[in-house]
Structure 1
Amino acid sequence: MAPDALTTSAQRDYVFVVNPSGANGRTGQQWKKMMPDLNSRLGKDCNIHEALTTGPLHAIEIAREAVRDGAAAVVAVGGDGTLHEVLNGFFDDGKLVQSREGRPGPRTALGLIPMGTGSDLARHFGWNLNDRHQAIDRLVKGHKRRIDVGRVQLPDDKVDRYFLNVASLHLSAKAGYFASMYKKLGNLCYVIGALQAFRSHENRDLRMRTDGGEWTVVPKVTATCVGNAKYFGGGMNITPSADPFNGGLEVVSLMDYKWYDFILKMHTLYQGTHVHLDKVTTNSVQTLEVEEVENESRKGNVFVQADGEHLGFLPAKFSILPEQLDFIL
């Protein structure tokens, strides 16, 4: 086949990265059910490639190769964890992956068919969760918009990590770490994760710096959430002013919260009204740097997560990369 033919074919390739074990196996089952409709409606205009993940981080490898091959789109089929890995496949060594030489054309777009436990990014856009017909409609229409991408940098981690939804630290990140162990219980896993995290939780004084300004000590931090979009934890509207198209991050910090505060104020976290309460601060930033106040006896156990995935521990830097990717809406 001539090189031009190869290039033309690659530009029509839609690579669907499927986590068949997602949502206790429901993702794989739903994917099989939608395949006939997908082939019928989308297969006329592009080449559909199915790529099933076999374990953690596999989606990163699949997505990265698809971008290098010049695919028109890479579509994450699953929950926020699958989307997180596919997103990170668009980056390598801190830079956007480029298509291989000889494959010119439009940039590879990122797409999503939400079929996971949380699907919090889909909530941000008001999509009907697990509605395969609506998902196919979006892909067929092919409307794209440049979306902002959040970045997390940990000094002890040589690889930058990227997120579309919400990153966070301390209690919320620790709760997400434990919640991942109970995914078989559906959204109940977030409640169990939070209860388990609280058992060993201590509010901590942390040093923070926004947009390269002065360092300040924020006392008794319970959790700090850094939102590119609004939702996390299976529907909590934690950063209600966040917008993945405005070039900024919304930072919400909860301070000096006790376990009973969460019980009494849980409804405000889902409604997004918690930002008006005492002991909660909110700010719009481009960068946020966070580190522990020196205390050797407790150093090294402040969790950091993004899109529900455990990344490591403080110190950490969060930043925004405006209009970084074409996203299929």
Structure 2
Amino acid sequence: MKRATLLYNPRAGSNRAKRLEAVERAKRVLVDAGVAAECVATQSADSAGAQARDAIQRGSDTVLACGGDGTLHDTLQGVVGTDAAVGVIPLGTANALANDLRIPAHPERAARTILQYKPRWLPAGTISYARREGEPATRYFTVMAGVGPDAAMVYELSAKWKNSLGLLSYLVKSAQLFLSHHFATFEVEYDDLITGMRHTTQTISVMAVRITDFGNVLRKLAPGAALENADLRIVILTKHPRINFLLHLTSALVGYRPGLPGIKFASASEVRCHVLDGHREEQTIRAEADGEHLGRLPVTIGIRQRAFRLLMPPDRA
């Protein structure tokens, strides 16, 4: 790392002055280590990707997303396909990737940790979906993508809730959805990479997971998932959807156990989600990636090999 850009969202969090101070503290650690570093505020909610690419074109060999999984998600859109490395300084509500990479939730300690990490080429998840107006779009992701309850939760969860309650907000909103929300059924199709068999089933929920350990209140959401893997680890609720949504949430708190009834795990390189024939519920079936609400069905979740370079612990680089 010789020249780094620290991207942060000045509008995120309940204490914006404190956030800027945290970014500056991380920057000082890098500068003291001989890195030419600059802090750059994102201009809008979805400008991080373009700003990351601009920083790379101006000579940055590293872009550090200072925030949560959403900040990294936006930054990733501009880093994929370049030789620059991307890293994380965790300052957000949800820091799943930072937890998986063992990066401390403290600006100086995170920066010192990042200085010891090495860049590694990794696959990136891809998700194609329909925007609100119906036009197609595609995004890259690192942590997970989902269709169904988790996306509905992200859609319903306001920034005010996240800022005031943090991770508790996710649990509160999940409980509310469990008690009150109707989850529409849709069709999912995938080829199991282990058995070679094609599966088509109906479900209310699909998640494609790319990391091992979410940390905090969540542990292993999908056993066998890892950033280094060339596939997606998928989780599908196969029956008794309302009961299994609660089971899904509860078991995630302690780590999934193999053999849970109504929950299917598989490895796949692509997952296709469609509205059932004769149904008109595509507007209510939502999609998300890395905790960011994206759009609706139809959705295809896939993977792009050797997509980006991520700063990782030496034992994983």
TM-score if structure 2 supplies the norm length? 0.85
Q: Is 1:229 the equivalent of 2:211? A: yes
Q: Is 1:306 the equivalent of 2:286? A: no
Give, in angstroms, the shift of residue 258 of structure 1: 4.8
Give, in angstroms, the shift of residue 209 of structure 1: 2.9
Q: 1:328 aligns with which of 308, 311, 317?
A: 311
Question: CA deviation digits over 1:175-211, x for unaligned, max 9?
Answer: 1211244212211221233234342323514141337
Map 1:199-218; keep pairs closer than 5 Å.
Answer: 199-210=180-191, 216-218=199-201
AA in 2 matched with 1:167: A
Equivalent residue, structure 2, for 1:49: 38
Give, in angstroms, the shift of residue 25 of structure 1: 2.6
Question: CA deviation digits over 1:203-244, x for unaligned, max 9?
Answer: 51414133798864413x231110111456964332232111
Equivalent residue, structure 2, for 1:122: 98
1:55 is paired with a residue whose SS is coil
Structure 1: unaligned runs, 5 residues or longer: 1-10, 98-106
Equivalent residue, structure 2, for 1:78: 67
Equivalent residue, structure 2, for 1:197: 177
Give, in angstroms, the shift of residue 257 of structure 1: 4.1
Count of matched residue positions in the alignment of Structure 1 and Structure 2: 303
Structure 2: unaligned runs, 5 residues or longer: 313-317
**Structure 1 residues 157 and 180 mapped into 2: Cα distance closer, same or farther (>3 Å)?**
farther
Distance of 1:190 and 1:234 partners within structure 2: 12
Q: CA RMSD in A?
A: 2.7
Equivalent residue, structure 1, for 2:301: 318
* Percent identity of equivalent pairs: 23
Equivalent residue, structure 1, for 2:6: 16
**Structure 1 residues 138 and 144 mapped into 2: Cα distance closer, same or farther (>3 Å)?**
farther
The answer on whether the counterparts of 2:231 and 2:303 sit within 8 Å (CA) in structure 1 is yes
2:204 is paired with a residue whose SS is strand
The answer on whether the counterparts of 1:190 and 1:233 sit within 8 Å (CA) in structure 2 is no
The answer on whether the counterparts of 1:303 and 1:312 sit within 8 Å (CA) in structure 2 is yes
Distance of 2:214 and 2:29 partners within structure 1: 34
**Structure 1 residues 197 and 54 mapped into 2: Cα distance closer, same or farther (>3 Å)?**
farther
AA in 1 matched with 2:123: D
AA in 2 matched with 1:115: L
Q: Is 1:110 the equivalent of 2:92? A: no
Map 1:255-270; keep pairs closer than 5 Å.
Answer: 255-263=238-246, 266-270=249-253
The structure with the largest alpha-carbon Rg is 1
Give, in angstroms, the shift of residue 168 of structure 1: 0.4
Q: 1:179 aligns with which of 132, 148, 157?
A: 157
AA in 1 matched with 2:107: R
The answer on whether the counterparts of 2:205 and 2:236 sit within 8 Å (CA) in structure 1 is yes
Give, in angstroms, the shift of residue 170 of structure 1: 0.8
The answer on whether the counterparts of 1:74 and 1:110 sit within 8 Å (CA) in structure 2 is yes
**Structure 1 residues 159 and 206 mapped into 2: Cα distance closer, same or farther (>3 Å)?**
closer
Higher relative contact order (CA 8 A, sep 6+): 2
Deviates more, 1:72-81 or 1:315-324: 315-324
Equivalent residue, structure 1, for 2:260: 277
Equivalent residue, structure 1, for 2:76: 87
The answer on whether the counterparts of 2:26 and 2:110 sit within 8 Å (CA) in structure 1 is no
The answer on whether the counterparts of 1:176 and 1:194 sit within 8 Å (CA) in structure 2 is no
Give, in angstroms, the shift of residue 299 of structure 1: 3.7
**Structure 1 residues 328 and 216 mapped into 2: Cα distance closer, same or farther (>3 Å)?**
closer
**Structure 1 residues 38 and 328 mapped into 2: Cα distance closer, same or farther (>3 Å)?**
same
The answer on whether the counterparts of 2:103 and 2:114 sit within 8 Å (CA) in structure 1 is no
Deviates more, 1:76-85 or 1:257-266: 257-266
Distance of 1:298 and 1:30 partners within structure 2: 40
AA in 1 matched with 2:301: F
